[in-house]
Amino acid sequence: MGGTGAVPRPRTGTTPAQWVNPLRDERDKRLPRIAGPCSLVIFGVTGDLARKKLLPAVYDLANRGLLPPGFTLVGFARRDWTDEHFAAVVHDSVRDHARTEFREVVWERLAEGIRFVQGSFDDEAAFDELAKTLAAVDEQRGTGGNHGFYLAIPPAAFPTVCEQLSRSGLARPGEDQWRRVVIEKPFGHDLESAKELNDVVNAVVPEDSVFRIDHYLGKETVQNILALRFANQLFDPIWNSHYVDHVQITMAEDIGLGGRAGYYDGIGAARDVIQNHLLQLLAFTAMEEPVSFEPSELQAEKIKVLSATRLAQPLDETTARGQYSGGWQGGRKVVGLLDEEGFSKDSTTETFAAITLEVDTRRWAGVPFYLRTGKRLGRRVTEIAVVFKRAPHLPFDQTMTEELGQNALVIRVQPDEGVTMRFGSKVPGSSMEVRDVNMDFSYGQAFTESSPEAYERLILDVLLGEPSLFPANAEVELSWKILDPVLDHWAASGRPEPYEAGTWGPPSAQEMLRRSGREWRRP
Ligand code: BG6
């Protein structure tokens, strides 16, 4: 692995002049990004997140040569598994879900460092066993006493696991060693519980060793917001209330919630993704330029903008929530939430949420930020659309510009990653008629390299101790502070409005924008 990866040969028929060594640049740039000696312990290793995302991401990192030679992966769970059985589970999940191609040689090296410890979270003996296992891998595999603990578990279990890590001495690094704790959202269910949770975690692990995962920050297209805004001269002059009419941030999913009742019922769309992913997208879009990309500088700007962000009032008019009912999606009949397995028949959990935010800064005063998310919507798409004001004067007959909309810059986060600029252009012909056209940048066409999965990037950053892409405690608490009033408001206002699966949410969501003469985009 590392620097020894074989250089692919040119394909037959390719002339040397056309052949560019695809590994060269990647290898040069990745040198400082190879993790040092360490292990990663995953709690909740039998869950969906581990199987579909975490284990494949570990393999992908190994395949890209970014893990150290003695890297060790330790699974911790209640099942009565051996190391070999766990290795077989990892193998299957890599085969099914890894991004990069399966290479036997990479797999064999990774498999040498796979261990399993059986136990429940309140089992002291199991944590003592874990401590022994890690001491042994330090000895046998040179992991140097550097261990990451990934809590891919329900939040109710965080306190117990943190206490066990503390009691068994696992949270305490020796000299020149590190111990880091990675926690998955939800970080609480409101401001108060988030504070309690942070107290529990911080009592055991210092803040600079806590890595809170918001996997949206691991996405290339999300990091590209910073490149787009701060590496170019083109956009900044118009990135403010003089030119921007409003911003729409959409995270739409076509999937339903079958199989996720345990997590989702009682949580709902706003807590699930607005509190974290969408507010982080807003922060990247609205923040000022950081002094540098040092983690503390970046966090400082996000904290500033989140501190200035608040819900527009009155909440009855500026927010909307819904719950999907049965309908058709992709040619398939699907059931409504109340008929999904595990959801209570009178569940008031919202599967669609939309809110209006205002950012009280000189740059953004008066510009609404509309955020919406939902399950079982028309299609899967996440995008940020910065919609510009209309030109103050159009020197055309009205008939010539009837089909001219507002200019927009759309950051396409997924699935068709890229950026679109929408502007008016003359329709070819003998008369002057102006219509909207799109200018597109697409990752698929512009770059030959494929984007790493968010979890690849974030796991590597944990192992490197690089916290830039992890929300700080203060950001998490500010996000709850923004959202809490609408959660209280909804809790006191009855059932969410039904919307048919496969549509774009409840009528109140359309109303919410129409009141100010605007429309949601149809991505
Ligand atoms: C998770 C939410 O954080 O993000 C899920 O809990 C959601 O409800 C998922 O489906 C979407 O992630 P992605 O990367 O597919 O957009």
Cβ count near 278 (within 10 Å)? 27
Instruction: Lowest mean pLDDT of 23-32, 157-166, 216-225, 492-501, name the range.
Output: 23-32
User: Which residue type occupies 361?
Assistant: T
Residue 23: pLDDT above 70?
no
| Under 8 Å between Cβ of 501 and 212 | no
- The set of residues, in sequence order, having a beta carbon less than 8 Å from that of 212 and lying 6+ positions away, is 182, 183, 185, 187, 470, 471, 472, 473, 476
Residue nearest to ligand 1 atom 8, measured at CA: 272
Q: What local confidence, expressed as pLDDT, does residue 517 receive?
A: 95
pLDDT at residue 14 tops 90: no
Closest CA to ligand 1's atom 13: 216
pLDDT score of 462:
98
Cα(48) to centroid(ligand 1), Å? 12
Which tens digit of pLDDT belongs to each residue from 422-464? 999 999 999 999 999 999 999 989 998 888 999 999 999 999 9
Catalytic (active-site) positions: 277
Mean pLDDT calculated for residue range 122-136: 97
Do 38 and 142 touch, CB atoms closer than 8 A? Answer: no
Q: Do domains 39-184 and 217-391+470-514 have the same CATH topology?
A: no
Q: Is 251 helix (H, G, I), strand (E, B) or coil?
A: strand
Give the residue from 152, 201, 205, 155 showing the smallest Cα distance to 180.
Answer: 205
How many C-beta atoms lie closer than 10 Å to residue 15's C-beta?
7
Angle at 101 between CA 97 and CA 104, to 5 degrees: 105
For 291-380, where are the alpha helices, taking DSSP H only?
295-307, 315-318
Q: Cα separation of 383 and 364, whole Å?
A: 19
User: What is the spatial distance between Cα 282 and Cα 306, in angstroms, rounded to a whole number?
Assistant: 9
Q: What is the pLDDT of residues 259-289, one digit of tens each?
A: 899 889 999 999 999 999 999 999 999 999 9
Known binding residues for NADP(+) are: 78, 185
Q: Write the Ramachandran bin of 269: left for phi over 0, alpha for psi from -120 to 50, otherwise beta.
A: alpha
Binding site membership of 272 for ligand 1 (Cβ less than 6 Å): yes
Nearest CA to ligand 1 atom 7: 273
CA 68, CA 187: separation in Å to the nearest integer? 31
**Which pLDDT band holds residue 154 (cuts at 50, 70, 90)?**
confident
The architecture CATH gives domain 39-184: 3-Layer(aba) Sandwich (3.40)
pLDDT digits (tens, 9 = 90+) for 381-433: 999 999 999 999 999 998 999 999 999 999 999 999 999 999 999 999 999 99
- Residue 484 reports pLDDT greater than 50: yes
Q: How many CB atoms lie within 10 A of CB 205?
A: 21
Q: Which two tokens stand for residue 52?
A: 């579909």
State if residue 253 touches ligand 1 by the CB under 6 angstroms criterion.
yes
Tell me the HSE value of 371 on the side-chain side, using a 13 A CA sphere.
27
From the number of C-beta atoms within 10 Å of its C-beta (0-12, 13-18, 19+), residue 198 rates as buried
Q: How far is the CA of 253 from the centre of ligand 1 (A)?
A: 9
Does ligand 1 come within 6 angstroms of the Cβ of 417? Answer: no
Q: 453 alpha carbon to ligand 1 midpoint, in Å?
A: 13
> Per the CATH hierarchy, to which homologous superfamily does domain 217-391+470-514 belong?
Dihydrodipicolinate Reductase; domain 2 (3.30.360.10)
- What does the DSSP assignment read for 382-411? EEEEEEEPPPS---S-GGGGTB----EEEE
Tell me the best of 184, 265, 273, 417 to mutate to test the pocket of ligand 1, counting ligand atoms within 8 Å of each CB and taking the most.
273
Residue from 53, 189, 222, 272 to probe ligand 1 pocket by mutation (most atoms less than 8 Å from CB): 272
- Measured at the CA of 317, the angle between CA 311 and CA 320, to 5 degrees, comes to 80
Which residue type does 444 have?
G
Q: What's the confidence (pLDDT) of residue 8?
A: 37
pLDDT of residue 30: 52
Q: Which helix (H) or strand (E) segment is 270 a member of?
A: none
pLDDT digits (tens, 9 = 90+) for 181-193: 999 988 999 999 9
Omega prior to 395 cis, within 30 of 0: no
The pLDDT of residue 1 is above 90 = no
Contact 411, 284 (CB under 8 A): no
Full DSSP string of 163-232: HHHHHTTTT---TT--EEEEEESP--SSHHHHHHHHHHHHHHS-GGGEEEE-GGGGSHHHHHHHHHHHS-
Residue 6 has pLDDT above 60, yes or no: no
| pLDDT of residue 514 exceeding 60 | yes
For the chain, how many residues are written?
A: 523
**Which of the listed residues 189, 215, 249 should we mutate to test ligand 1's pocket, taking the one with most ligand atoms within 8 A of CB?**
215
Q: Beta-carbon neighbour count of residue 131 at 10 Å?
A: 18
Segment 234-257 mean pLDDT? 97
Q: How far is CA 154 from the centre of its chain?
A: 18
Check if 273 has its Cβ closer than 6 Å to any atom of ligand 1: yes
Task: Please write the tens of the pLDDT for every residue from 339-366.
Answer: 999 999 999 999 999 999 999 999 999 9
pLDDT above 90: percentage of residues in the chain: 87
Burial class (CB in 10 A: 0-12, 13-18, 19+), 20: exposed
Say if residue 107's pLDDT is above 90.
yes
Provide the sign of the torsion angle of the four alpha carbons 289, 293, 294, 299, taken in this order. positive
pLDDT tens digits for range 53-86: 999 999 999 999 999 999 999 999 999 999 999 9
Q: Residue 448: how many CB atoms within 10 A of its CB? A: 8
251 CA distance to ligand 1 middle (Å): 9
Report which ligand 1 atom has the smallest distance to the Cα of 253.
Answer: 10
Q: Whose CA is nearest to atom 14 of ligand 1?
A: 216
Least confident of 2-16, 36-50, 466-480, 504-518: 2-16
Of the CA atoms within 13 Å of residue 244, those in its CB half-sphere come to 25
Compute the average pLDDT of residues 89-108: 97
Q: Which atom of ligand 1 is nearest to the CA of 216?
A: 14
What is the predicted pLDDT for the residue at 29?
A: 56
Asked whether 281 lines ligand 1 (CB < 6 A), one says: no
- How many other CB atoms are found less than 10 A from the CB of residue 265? 17
Query: Which residue ranges make up each domain of the chain?
Result: 39-184, 217-391+470-514
| The pLDDT of residue 7 | 35
The residue nearest atom 6 of ligand 1, judged by CA position, is 272
DSSP states along 38-79 = -EEEEESTTSHHIIIIIHHHHHHHHHTT-S-TT-EEEEEESS
What percent of the chain is modeled with pLDDT above 70?
A: 94
Instruction: Give buried/exposed letters for 140-162 (b at 16+ CB in 10 A, else e).
Output: ebebbbbbbbbbbbebeebbebb
The amino acid at 225: I
Question: Which protein residue has the closest C-alpha to ligand 1 atom 3?
Answer: 273
